[in-house]
Amino acid sequence: MNLRQVEAFRAVMLTGQMTTAAELLSITQPAVSRLIRDFEHSTRLRLFERRGNQIIPTQEAVTLMKEVTRSFVGLNRIAAVAEEISRQAAGTLRIAAMPALSNGILPRFLARFLRDKSSLYAALNGLPSSMVIEAVASGQADVGFADGPLDRPGFLIETRPFAAVVAIPANHPLAQKALIHPADLDRQRMISLEPGTIFASRVDVALAGVSRLPTLEARLSHTALMLVSEGAGIAIIDPTAAWEFEGRGVVTRPFSVYIDASFLVIRPPNQGASAIVDRFVQEFWEFHDREVPERRD
Judgement on whether residues 61 and 203 belong to the same structural domain of the protein: no
Range of the domain at 211: 165-254
Share of the chain above pLDDT 70, in %: 89
Domain end marker among 30, 57, 86: 86
Q: How far apart are the first and last CA of the chain?
A: 65
Q: How many domains are there within the chain?
A: 3
Are 173 and 249 within one domain? yes
- Statement to judge: residues 217 and 238 lie in one domain: yes
Is 197 inside a domain boundary? yes
Residue 189 and residue 109 share a domain:
no
Q: Is residue 21 part of a domain?
A: yes
The answer to whether residues 213 and 187 belong to one domain is yes
Q: Residue 294's pLDDT is what? A: 62
In a domain? residue 297: no
Do 82 and 7 share a structural domain? yes
pLDDT of residue 296: 44
Do 254 and 163 meet the contact criterion of CB atoms below 8 Å apart?
yes
12-16, 213-217, 253-257: which has the minimum mean pLDDT? 213-217
Task: Give the model confidence (pLDDT) of 57-110 as tens digits.
Answer: 888 888 888 888 777 766 555 555 555 545 544 567 899 999 889 988 999 999
Q: Which CATH number does the domain housing residue 278 bear? A: 3.40.190.10
